[in-house]
Structure 1
């Protein structure tokens, strides 16, 4: 019924497809690339609410941009300092910049005989003060490594952007800063989340174009090599291109921007389109060789392959929809988008391929004869090995399972902040510079929440904070530590005319209250980001190098043990929090969600296979041949030292849907052949016929994924390496293990 309708109404269906394509092309100029990292934070994490409270109360450090001006010689040069001061003011005037701070613009209050006055942190217009300024600054841990480098050869401008600045405005701001630095003749490095987002977007834009071009190029090359037919090349390319255009148009229509994850979409759609079309070609060619006319061959092909295509598309979509169980919003978004892309690709295949095959000569699609005969010999050899050496196959599988199980325990989860960006990129250069010369690129933050109605200006609470501040400051890994203690120490020193010996907490509550009254109007905004206006919430903030997630966890555990043993929790609640801590949470949730999603995918596919075939033995075969490639890939990931993190955890979902697709085609063909033949004959025919299509699909997909090795994103590069390897093992398992399991289970 359906095959006849697809052929009968092919013109109406192709008209609908062309109209949808025109609509998608019309929408394409609205495609956006955005890397908003707030969408990566886990929804239900208990620390997320506290993190949002910290942002609301103390400001968002992710809304700041550090612009490092590297002089490469001493900054104590009056001409340079004046020029740098002008640069700071010019940066403040840029659109969407709310404020700009630097060493030349900040002042400290001082008690003088004439009242409370302000004194510059550096007297840049008075060279006679440079020596005393440098001696004072080098002892000031609040700003050393934040506003100037340890060697006094670089200065930092901290730009504060307007609140809730949209991602699409970040690019012109960063470009304006780059242009401004060129006007002033400064060599700069930038650091901050906005710059990271812009860097990701720039690379994403470039990588998306390159990925599409390489996918198409390699697809054309491999199909041309395997088939002696123009249409055998043109038709899969058309299915792929139409699917990608419709997919991108769909994203614009639902207002979803592209990000680093959706850059994988073209490659994933390549998997689906190539697999569908080659299996269609294989069945259609076999019917033509059997002597069917074009109409009959198409009808039988749609009838026989259609169910398998529906099932593989459904299971692939389900595989990605299991990402909806993730606690990470962006992972859920990715799952829905790719599931929609799979459905789009299936519809394009079922409309376009029958239409074109009906329009062209029936002999237009044919595999190279030498390849055909070559595969006949290989298929016969595979069948001989299955029959003559079953124990060898079983022992090999058990050995691989044992090795993989061990390898999985060695997977590297010690993620680094800048490991995604290409080595040598200006972003990585900035990270290296900031880690070597400044206080580091990672934040280390601890939220301070007074209890029993107390506030952070209570002397007893402050003494508790001081204990923790002193401990954190003693840690070799943490630099430039500031806290409410810093604020009151600064006020106390200012009250005593800048006497460094008075850089301590006031002695009693009366002194604290007096200092607050005296300096209430003097302002000290650069340091008040550690305590809110009501003194009901604050934080200890430090900087550190990117030492890897595992070492950070060890540091957090060490600090937490100290807190539990030394802090009075009746006065103060303290919790390790902050943007870097939340980024670590993303990786933790991604890895956990990967296992959850795979579990759901395996369960749903198992239920679907059982409902369709009503045979638990078939379910067992499907599970065995789909889990084994995943285990092997995990072990190879450990062997190569590739990081398992947010971007690479998707590898296992991609690998699962690839393995399931081929297995369903294999099982479907076996069961159709089994209706007329013995188990042995059905397995042999399936290896010969479906195995050929699986091999062709795997070859094309191997090179389609291998092109990702050239990607600038380390995650995409890892996906390219691992999925290419997974394709090889999935094919081998389907060709050797699936038939062996079927033979072993036939009498049970």
Structure 2
């Protein structure tokens, strides 16, 4: 132990075990007090890219045309949808939902304007609107209109007419918007120039306040959704009901995170307790590792709560990982202690513990540092939950190292040595098989390793980030069922907005004209408004642009991936129906626009046209369940067609919506995977050079991980498992944990080689000593990661199983390829190249 002088450690920790335990207990209790402050964050911020310009544009479009942050209730009655009894039941459901305090409105087939039930004229439309609830509405015509209208077909009513949707809109929270905008303004300024001390303090204050307020708001939304579900339960005997929408997904994912944190922690403790009992068969070697792991977990969770860190769907498994790492460290100490005790059966406890710590601290220290480097590399992802996960695991690993080398040895000092353990067991038999394998079939081992790497590289070439959001959830979840039903019967799930601006030269001319008008004292705006109105000043809202708008609409609607499309073209189709199949002229359009009731305008025009008439919005919904969906290709295809075939300028075309934000994150995953791999391998190579003091030995030590990581990524590519916010971390974690065994093996091999400078004998002795600890820790880690298969979140299941697979491959590579290369290449030479530690 050179980082901390052994004599000082011996005096402070081993010499005063009770004082050490008391200090650890106080630290654990202090931080444990703050565990209730550890919050869960599943907000949009937690799932978006850092500094994503598309996110900023998305928010501006939401502010202009309305939010897509609403709930959808699908209603499929046992009887016919348009029977009086069914409509009465639907009305009762709508009123119950509308009575919730934070619900601003509920839109259903009972509330939307009807213009063909019976047919209305343009002048009638200006004076009143008719809905399904009106007594003079023709029910048969209303059913036909709702099923065939371009505004309502596959939006409020399914094509078969058996399913309808209710849109539940929540009230906007002005304080939330104010805090977010104020915080984002300072964040943007920080990107452009250095903030002053006062501005940095204000940014920190706003960020903390926004985080707290957002958490309270999400908690309130969760309570509202629980209330909505209780209301829906009252109608399930009369209809099949499903709940969908972003707020519901957020609420359910919060439950998934809580479930994962609770279940993973308990399951890992239970399973690892059983493993410790089977492996060591002595109470002390079960209780002490578990006590160390639990204390580390409590202190770390409390520290995160005190520091204001939040748990996301990505970092929900941090506690399980932390417990696994602590037990891995303590198992190395246990195995080494038992080995020293066997060699020195009459030694006193202080000597045994000191020898254990002195021989294991350096490899354990580098083991933790390399794992921290692997997790730290996740910060280049640009994805907030992945970045936070990297930092959280760095903090957790630091705590793991400190507690393992304080609590565990101090507690061990209070116990008597007992009787030395017999080293002959099944584990020894298993580890002894590998030296014989490489002695007899060394070339075969190298050939198999080469084939594994080739398979991995081939599979990596097929790796993709394209995945369906719906596939993140089990079919039994309401998220999956709701999205699937909306996809099949109500025109698609994922929102995509295509926003078209007027040409730049038109907007410049408008600004110049506005300036001249403002300077002319004889200009009479009212007269012009009366003659032309919006059709005279708008680029898009006039009969000259109807065909162009229609061309864009028809192209978008014709895309296989796209379901429902709503736009100004949909409105024009409705106006044609009202006007006897003819489009109204510009004057009639201007008058209609001016005189339409606000509630009708909010349905027909405002969602698709800016107030000045110079920006169009095409509201698309994409089939999330489409197995052929390729988001990036779809976005590129739309942009190329609009700017190529239809002749729009690139500056006019903007694509936004949840689909764009999600796609940005997916594309970043692929880029960051390459950056992550490169950064991790380079950093660990440098660590190996520092530790082993030999470039040659460092390169040899890197080889096992060059087998395990490509193989697991290649397996993902071969099985068509896409990269996502969870599986993106597999490579970094696999390297970080995989090198742990490498470090311990090479460190012990150097010690064994110094005995007689017989490479083959050193391999056998290394397998018989450190091989046991490697076997125990890998089994522990593998089973620990396999516990993640209990998650409700599919990416977490993949993450757990694939990482467990990578750990097994890394163990086999460290047991075969690493010693084989050490034997063949003889990096220590005949006299040795590094001092024994």
- For residue 467 of structure 2, the aligned residue among 408, 412, 415 is 415
Residue number in structure 2 paired with 1:140: 149
The CA deviation at 1:53 is 2.4
Whether contact under 8 Å (2:126, 2:597) holds in the other structure is no
Write the mapping of 1:355-394 to structure 2, written as runs, cut at 5 A.
355-363=410-418, 369-371=423-425, 374-394=426-446
The CA deviation at 1:704 is 1.6
The CA deviation at 1:462 is 5.3
Whether contact under 8 Å (2:102, 2:171) holds in the other structure is yes
The CA deviation at 1:350 is 1.1
Residue number in structure 2 paired with 1:276: 329
Residue number in structure 2 paired with 1:699: 779
Alignment of 1:475 with 2:475, yes or no, is: no
SS at match of 2:169: strand
- For residue 607 of structure 2, the aligned residue among 509, 529, 534 is 529
Alignment of 1:319 with 2:374, yes or no, is: yes
Aligned equivalents of 1:632, 1:521: Cα separation in 2: 61
Q: Structure 1 369/612 Cα, relative in aligned 2: closer, same or farther at 3 Å? A: closer
Aligned equivalents of 2:152, 2:383: Cα separation in 1: 35
Aligned equivalents of 2:743, 2:271: Cα separation in 1: 26
Write the mapping of 1:62-101 to structure 2, written as runs, cut at 5 A.
63-101=69-107
The CA deviation at 1:730 is 0.7
Deviation digits for residues 161-207 of structure 1 (CA, Å, limit 9, x no counterpart): 23357322221011111122234555421111111111212222223
Write the mapping of 1:281-360 to structure 2, written as runs, cut at 5 A.
281-291=334-344, 292-360=347-415
Whether contact under 8 Å (1:58, 1:530) holds in the other structure is yes
Q: Structure 1 626/522 Cα, relative in aligned 2: closer, same or farther at 3 Å? A: closer
The CA deviation at 1:611 is 2.5
Aligned equivalents of 2:714, 2:48: Cα separation in 1: 28
Whether contact under 8 Å (2:378, 2:729) holds in the other structure is no
Alignment of 1:576 with 2:628, yes or no, is: no
Q: Structure 1 114/315 Cα, relative in aligned 2: closer, same or farther at 3 Å? A: closer
Aligned equivalents of 1:169, 1:221: Cα separation in 2: 41
Aligned equivalents of 1:272, 1:25: Cα separation in 2: 20
Residue number in structure 2 paired with 1:427: 479
- For residue 222 of structure 2, the aligned residue among 164, 167, 171 is 171
Residue number in structure 2 paired with 1:739: 819
Alignment of 1:485 with 2:537, yes or no, is: no
Aligned equivalents of 2:596, 2:406: Cα separation in 1: 75
- For residue 55 of structure 2, the aligned residue among 36, 42, 48 is 48
Q: CA RMSD in A?
A: 2.6
Aligned equivalents of 2:590, 2:222: Cα separation in 1: 45
Q: Structure 1 697/522 Cα, relative in aligned 2: closer, same or farther at 3 Å? A: closer
SS at match of 2:807: helix
Write the mapping of 1:588-667 to structure 2, written as runs, cut at 5 A.
588-667=667-746
Q: Structure 1 456/6 Cα, relative in aligned 2: closer, same or farther at 3 Å? A: farther
Whether contact under 8 Å (2:377, 2:680) holds in the other structure is yes
The CA deviation at 1:79 is 3.1
The CA deviation at 1:405 is 1.6
Aligned equivalents of 2:776, 2:705: Cα separation in 1: 19
- For residue 220 of structure 1, the aligned residue among 248, 253, 273 is 273
Please identify, of 28-37 and 714-723, the stretch whose mean Cα deviation from structure 2 is larger: 28-37
Residue number in structure 1 paired with 2:180: none
Residue number in structure 1 paired with 2:620: 542
- For residue 15 of structure 1, the aligned residue among 13, 18, 22 is 22
Aligned equivalents of 1:233, 1:522: Cα separation in 2: 69
Alignment length, in residue pairs? Answer: 736
Q: What's the TM-score once normalised by structure 2's chain length?
A: 0.83
Q: Structure 1 275/13 Cα, relative in aligned 2: closer, same or farther at 3 Å? A: same
- For residue 229 of structure 1, the aligned residue among 259, 282, 289 is 282
Residue number in structure 1 paired with 2:502: 450
Please identify, of 13-22 and 377-386, the stretch whose mean Cα deviation from structure 2 is larger: 377-386
- For residue 716 of structure 1, the aligned residue among 796, 801, 805 is 796
Residue number in structure 2 paired with 1:402: 454
SS at match of 1:116: helix
Structure 1: gaps spanning 5 or more residues: none
The CA deviation at 1:262 is 1.9
Please identify, of 687-696 and 670-679, the stretch whose mean Cα deviation from structure 2 is larger: 670-679
Aligned equivalents of 2:596, 2:408: Cα separation in 1: 78
Write the mapping of 1:489-500 to structure 2, written as runs, cut at 5 A.
489-490=573-574, 492-493=575-576, 498-499=578-579
Whether contact under 8 Å (1:375, 1:688) holds in the other structure is no
The CA deviation at 1:208 is 2.4
Deviation digits for residues 423-463 of structure 1 (CA, Å, limit 9, x no counterpart): 22222222222222211212232122223244554545654
Q: What's the TM-score once normalised by structure 1's chain length?
A: 0.92
Please identify, of 307-316 and 439-448, the stretch whose mean Cα deviation from structure 2 is larger: 439-448
Whether contact under 8 Å (1:142, 1:480) holds in the other structure is no
Aligned equivalents of 1:442, 1:31: Cα separation in 2: 32
Q: Structure 1 115/478 Cα, relative in aligned 2: closer, same or farther at 3 Å? A: closer
Aligned equivalents of 1:368, 1:211: Cα separation in 2: 34
Aligned equivalents of 1:568, 1:170: Cα separation in 2: 44
SS at match of 1:428: helix
Please identify, of 23-32 and 103-112, the stretch whose mean Cα deviation from structure 2 is larger: 103-112
Aligned equivalents of 2:628, 2:414: Cα separation in 1: 58
Whether contact under 8 Å (1:626, 1:656) holds in the other structure is yes
Q: Structure 1 599/223 Cα, relative in aligned 2: closer, same or farther at 3 Å? A: same
Q: Structure 1 464/45 Cα, relative in aligned 2: closer, same or farther at 3 Å? A: farther
Residue number in structure 2 paired with 1:156: 165
SS at match of 1:529: coil
Residue number in structure 1 paired with 2:128: 118
Aligned equivalents of 1:662, 1:537: Cα separation in 2: 60
Aligned equivalents of 2:42, 2:421: Cα separation in 1: 44
The CA deviation at 1:227 is 0.8
Deviation digits for residues 653-675 of structure 1 (CA, Å, limit 9, x no counterpart): 22111101111111222234444
Aligned equivalents of 2:728, 2:713: Cα separation in 1: 10
Please identify, of 515-524 and 131-140, the stretch whose mean Cα deviation from structure 2 is larger: 515-524
Structure 2: gaps spanning 5 or more residues: 177-213, 508-537, 830-837
Q: Structure 1 549/593 Cα, relative in aligned 2: closer, same or farther at 3 Å? A: farther
The CA deviation at 1:637 is 2.4
Aligned equivalents of 1:368, 1:227: Cα separation in 2: 11
